Amino acid sequence: MPIKDLITELRKYSSRIIEIHVQDFGELIDWVDHYKLNRHIAAHGAFFQTAETGVLRVLYTHKRKVNGENIYIEEETTISRELILSLIQDADRILRTMVGITLQIERSVLNIKDHSST
């Protein structure tokens, strides 16, 4: 399909796509917003393992506003096996949600019927 036709089709179905996916996508955005500190720690934290115990730890800095001033707070925390498994499950849920949204958008745009239950 030529790009001009694809753009025309996308515009034609855009409101339908938004209606179908606004709940899943909205929930995903809310989750990402709620856990943005976790993302900050994962992206900017300094991870290390203590030689004596083998425990995984992370050192990170975040800022808070106090009386209109940015205050930088340094924190260190242990990363447990349970936390790692929970974060892997979160990443899997995000991936599955995005794949599901993508497939539903493709079906909507291409007007493909789901025959998996027949």
Q: Is residue 14 assigned to a domain?
A: yes
Q: Is residue 118 assigned to a domain?
A: no
Q: Chunked in runs of 10, what are the mean pLDDT values of the chain (118 residues)?
A: 64 59 64 80 88 90 90 92 86 84 74 61
Q: Is residue 54 assigned to a domain?
A: yes
Q: Is residue 116 assigned to a domain?
A: no
Sign of CA dihedral 76, 78, 79, 82: negative
Whole-angstrom distance, CA of residue 63 vs CA of residue 86:
25
Tokens of 118: 């027949």
Three-class secondary structure of residue 73 per DSSP = strand
Q: Is residue 52 classed exposed, middle or buried when 0-12, 13-18 and 19+ CB atoms within 10 A define those classes?
A: exposed
Q: Is residue 58 assigned to a domain?
A: yes
- Residue 44's domain comprises 3-110
Please state the domain count of the chain.
1
pLDDT at 11: 62
